Structure 1
Amino acid sequence: MKKVLAALLVLVIMSAFAGCGSQKSGNLTDSKHVGYSNEPAVTQKEDAPGEGSTGEIIKKIVKNGKLQLEAENVEKTYAQILDYAIKSNGYEFKHERTLNGDHIVVTAQIKIAPEKLDLIMNFAGNTATIINSSTTSDDVTSQYYDVQTRLQTKKNSLEKYYEFQKNAKTTEELLSIQNQIDAITTEIEAMEGQIKLWNAMVSESTLDITINEKNDPLKPKKNVNWNALSLSDMGTLTKNGFVSVVNVLVSLVQWLFIILFSVSPLLVIAGIVLLIIRYVSRRNRKKRADEEKEHNHPES
């Protein structure tokens, strides 16, 4: 048991030193790649693990592009661009057609080899008017080879743990070693997935395309024309406005008269009721006053 645990401790220490060595190697790779162009095919002769006997480091560049176009016939223009991409061994990854009233907008993604990205962008610019065009390049060379080195180190450690597992004598040893194997296996799978993702991104460029119709009314206008009213138009609009206001006021007076005439019987009845109430109220007040007077000055 003590021998197995001692061997595990030695292996962990060796793995830690190997990880530090790979990090230094990654930093060295970064410093040696300053000044390179962003072309995927650029190579630099340098010792690197996993690159064969030639010792050449292949640059890992992720290159993508965006195009915003304007065309009179949107669907025809996109069909020409897609046909060019297919002939260049590219393919359509995503396509969306939107109808704004009578105007069509096409948005799409095309996957194509990085060395042909500029060519298809130039072709698209010849088939329509370019509103906006951009390309981006991301150098993942350092991260790529750093992960590749750490992956090999993890695989070597995994083989050692398998050997320890064969020599384990107790259940406790087996469980401890199995936990280490599971953890290392998870890390290896994550690194392999990251490398596969980088390989896919490096081998294919993504071109985002948006094509708008030229006479799209929703598109902001570059030039605003002067469109002030003439004096005759101002006079006509002022006259029409004044007449409209007068018509509204007259209509209000007419409707007020109609309403008053309609409810006049009710107003007459209400007036009679108010007069009766007022008469009765005055009579009661006078009667109370006479009673109070008689009470205050009784006959002698």
Structure 2
Amino acid sequence: MKNYLKQWAALALLCVLAGLAGCSTHGRDIGAAAAESAAAAPSAPVQGKASGRLLVWTADFSLQVQDMGKARSQLSERMLALGGYVEEKSDYGDYSQSFVFRVPADAFETALGSVEQSGKVLSRHVKGEDVTEQYVDVETRLQNNIALRDRLKELLGKARDIQDILQIESELNRIQSEIDSMQARMRILKDQIQMATIRVELRQQEAPKPATIYGPLGYLYKGTEWFVTKLFIIRE
């Protein structure tokens, strides 16, 4: 059984070395594969498509609207028409409401125009975060761990000694935990690349105050007030 353990250690070492070599020699190929597997992201804004990078797009808006209910309904309908959805919304009464929309990355620029048409833009911030290297790194480590897990399973099938079986199973559980974590991270990255995030705050425009119309006694009062004010002015 000791020969099996030596074989397992040698295979694990070879796998790690192969992973390190793969990062340096095939990084460009993996990056191209990552870009192809998340094709929705590069086709969003023109700069992301031209560079072939994997970008996560976000935007933050603050709008002033004349009719809160109408603006809210129209904005939601426009996002839905683009294939998006409302991820989160907060209501702060009749004067302020906020929304978080998710829209397909290839409709991001159209969605920005729809937001700007919904009211008077008070503030606007758009950001594209490059996650290409992060995506490639997670994908490469995930592939290496999957290969190592498969080799450990082969060794486990050949093991006969209880202590050896327990050691291999412990290592298998550790590797599987890392694989699960990396797969979850890959799912999050793919979702962020494929679906852009737009946060919008709507503020109700205050109605203009009506002009004050004084009656005869009102004009008399204002005149008296003006006279008294002028009477007590101290000139230096």
Q: Same fold (TM over 0.5)?
A: yes
The answer (yes or no) to whether the contact 1:63–1:135 under 8 Å persists in 2 is yes
Deviation at 1:207, TM superposition (A): 0.7
- Please tell me whether residue 64 in structure 1 is matched to residue 55 in structure 2: no
2:132 is the counterpart of 1:136: no
Q: Which amino acid aligns with 1:130?
A: V
| Structure 2 SS opposite 1:158 | helix
Alignment length (residue pairs): 205
Q: Which residue of 1 aligns with 2:68?
A: 74
Describe how 1:1-300 pairs up with structure 2 within 5 A: 1-24=1-24, 40-41=42-43, 42=49, 59-99=53-93, 103-215=94-206, 232-233=228-229, 235=231
Q: Which runs of 5+ in 1 are unaligned?
A: 33-38, 45-57, 218-228, 239-300
Which structure 2 segments of 5+ residues have no match?
Answer: 33-40, 44-48, 209-224
User: Is the contact between residue 67 and residue 130 of structure 1 (CA under 8 Å) also seen in structure 2?
Assistant: yes
* Cα distance in 1, alignment partners of residues 30 and 154 from structure 2: 36
User: % of aligned pairs identical?
Assistant: 17
Amino acid at match of 2:92: T
Secondary structure of the equivalent of 1:89?
coil
Structure 1 contact 62–138 (Cα < 8 Å) conserved: yes
Question: Partner letter of residue 196 of structure 1?
Answer: R
Q: Aligned to 2:142, what secondary structure does the other structure show?
A: helix
Structure 2 SS opposite 1:215: coil
Query: Is the Cα–Cα contact under 8 Å of residues 23 and 140 in structure 2 kept in the other structure?
Result: no
Question: Residue 85 of structure 2 aligns to which amino acid in structure 1?
Answer: Y
Deviation, 1:22, is 4.1
- What is the TM-score of this pair, normalised by structure 2? 0.77
Distance 1:88 1:29, change over 3 A: same
Q: Output the CA distance in 1 between the equivalents of 2:63 and 2:29.
A: 40
1:23 to partner: Cα distance: 3.8
Is this contact kept in 2: 1:26–1:145, CA < 8 A? no
Q: TM-score, normalised by structure 1?
A: 0.61
- Between structure 1 and structure 2, the one with the greater Rg is 1
Give the Cα–Cα distance (whole angstroms) in 1 for the partners of residues 178 and 192 of structure 2: 21
Q: How big is each residue's C-alpha offset from its partner over 1:234-291, in whole Å with a ceiling of 9 and x where there is no partner?
A: 65699xxxxxxxxxxxxxxxxxxxxxxxxxxxxxxxxxxxxxxxxxxxxxxxxxxxxx
Q: Name the CA distance, whole Å, in 1 between partners of 2:171 and 2:20.
A: 20
Greater relative CO, 1 or 2 (CA 8 Å, sep 6+) = 2
Give 3-state SS (helix, strand or coil) of 1:10's partner: helix
CA distance in 2, matches of 1:208, 1:73: 19
